[in-house]
């Protein structure tokens, strides 16, 4: 009898923990903010507000397209000049209650509003799903895709590195393309593992992929960051010499629709010239 009550108590605690983690996974994303003084900022250019999103992982139950639409509304209220998305638009996790095609998953992003547009790179899940499907969805949503390419956008020379987790990245080609444009050098990458191999004349690297661990257990920490550098560039703000790094914890989930100690987040970055630069 006593053992039965103990087991019942443990089941109640387990269900409570799962409910808590599901609630954290589906909560309204936190808006984290950071400002960067860029030494290579074009003379006279005004500050730029950049919204960084990553790892949307559209799938039921935790990230249906209706929730994506609400997140888009939240991003629009921040009034960014530019939206950058660091890959992993879809999800194929086993416990999913519904899977979406690439065009279905990406369609809500068409209502993102930023004067300089929305630009994205691919993640490992996008490669696994099938590039034709993802590229079709991005084109329909008017999201510009960079695959080891660079463009001039506003005051930035923006490089988009393809996914390093699947070995699709080409940092040298991306940086070479960036150097053909004028502007402050910023790299957008799905994985932060490209950071050490990126030259120091790149001022800022923006990434996702790690989910900030997604499930970070008390006293133990994250089960995995899916990075060969462990915690080094796994979450939030970090540095590698003169290079500054922002790694987003992302919006959706992978493997399980649960989060603990790593809530969904949006980054709002203010980029401007270095002090004294006019």
User: Domains in the chain, start-ordered, CATH in brackets?
Assistant: 2-273 (3.60.21.10)
* Model confidence at 94: pLDDT above 90: no
Structure tokens at 258: 């649960």
Structure tokens at 142: 């008017």
Percent residues over pLDDT 70 in the chain: 93
Ranges 36-45, 203-212, 268-277: which has the least confidence: 268-277
* Model confidence at 274: pLDDT above 90: no
Q: Give pTM, 2 decimals.
A: 0.94
Q: Give the three-state DSSP class for 241.
A: coil
The pLDDT value given to residue 217: 87
The mean pLDDT value of the chain amounts to 93
The per-residue pLDDT for range 132-165, each reduced to its tens digit, is 999 999 999 999 999 999 999 999 999 999 999 9
Q: Where are the beta strands (DSSP E) in 78-209?
A: 82-85, 98-99, 118-120, 143-145, 149-153, 156-161, 184-189, 204-207
The pLDDT value given to residue 10: 55
Average pLDDT (5-20) is: 63
The per-residue pLDDT for range 168-181, each reduced to its tens digit, is 999 999 999 999 99
Cα gap 133→11, rounded to integer Å: 42
State the pLDDT confidence band at 218, using cuts at 50, 70 and 90. confident
Does 217 or 187 have the greater pLDDT score? 187
Cα gap 81→78, rounded to integer Å: 9
Q: At 268, which helix (H) or strand (E)?
A: strand 265-273
The per-residue pLDDT for range 221-266, each reduced to its tens digit, is 888 899 999 999 999 999 999 999 999 999 999 999 999 999 999 9
Cα gap 32→236, rounded to integer Å: 9
The pLDDT value given to residue 158: 98
Cα gap 15→11, rounded to integer Å: 6
């Amino acid at each position: 009898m006593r053992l039965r009550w103990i087991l019942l108590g443990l089941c109640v605690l387990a269900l409570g923990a799962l409910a808590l983690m599901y609630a954290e996974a589906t909560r309204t994303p936190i808006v984290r903010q950071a400002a960067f003084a860029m030494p290579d900022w074009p003379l006279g250019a005004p500050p730029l507000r950049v919204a960084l999103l990553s790892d949307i992982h559209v799938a039921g139950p935790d990230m249906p397209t209706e929730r994506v639409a609400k997140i888009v509304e939240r991003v629009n209220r921040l009034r960014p000049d530019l939206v950058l998305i660091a890959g992993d638009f879809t999800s194929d996790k086993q416990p999913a209650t519904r899977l979406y095609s690439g065009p279905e998953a990406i369609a809500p992003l068409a209502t993102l509003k930023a004067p300089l547009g929305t630009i994205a790179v691919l993640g490992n899940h996008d490669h696994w799903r099938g590039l034709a499907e993802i590229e079709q969805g991005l084109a329909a949503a008017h999201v510009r895709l960079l695959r080891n390419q660079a463009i001039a956008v506003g005051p930035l020379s923006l490089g988009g590195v393809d996914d390093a987790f699947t070995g699709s990245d080409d940092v040298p080609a991306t940086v070479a393309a960036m150097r053909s444009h004028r502007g402050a050098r910023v790299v957008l990458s799905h994985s932060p593992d490209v950071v050490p191999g990126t030259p120091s004349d790149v001022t800022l690297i923006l990434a996702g992929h790690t989910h900030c661990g997604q499930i970070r257990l008390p006293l133990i920490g994250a089960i995995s960051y899916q990075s060969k550098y462990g915690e080094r560039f796994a979450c939030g703000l970090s540095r590698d010499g003169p290079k500054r790094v922002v790694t987003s914890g992302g919006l959706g989930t992978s493997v399980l629709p649960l989060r603990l100690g790593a809530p969904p987040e949006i980054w709002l970055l203010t980029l401007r010239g270095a002090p004294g630069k006019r």
